[in-house]
Amino acid sequence: AQSVTQPDIHITVSEGASLELRCNYSYGATPYLFWYVQSPGQGLQLLLKYFSGDTLVQGIKGFEAEFKRSQSSFNLRKPSVHWSDAAEYFCAVGISGGSNYKLTFGKGTLLTVNP
């Protein structure tokens, strides 16, 4: 079964600093890969996704992620964090094809931004 690991439960950065959130997955083939963001008490918003092609994908709000097949990773990056980026971030993987497609989520990384 596929699994997703987000090694960092909580990360604190200063406003204006760069950010990298880690995500590793376990699956035999290349899955679909996603990053979502969640503000407290809200639903999840899709930041970006990777299905195939260019391994560096751009998303909304200035985020990008890079798929590295050799490391089974899909890390999320942002060059300069804003206070409004404080939220919880979830990485997810989905198996392509078939009639029972579903996503598996990591347990999330909570981002705190210091002024």
Binding site for another protein (CB under 8 A): 9, 32, 34, 36, 41-46, 49, 51, 90, 94, 96, 99-108
CB of 17 to another protein, least distance (A): 25
Q: Which is nearer to another protein, 36 or 67 (CB)?
A: 36
> Residue 80 or residue 96: which is nearer to another protein going by CB?
96
Secondary structure class of 65 (helix, strand, coil): strand
The nearest distance, CB 103 to another protein, in angstroms, is 6
Report DSSP state, residue 71: G
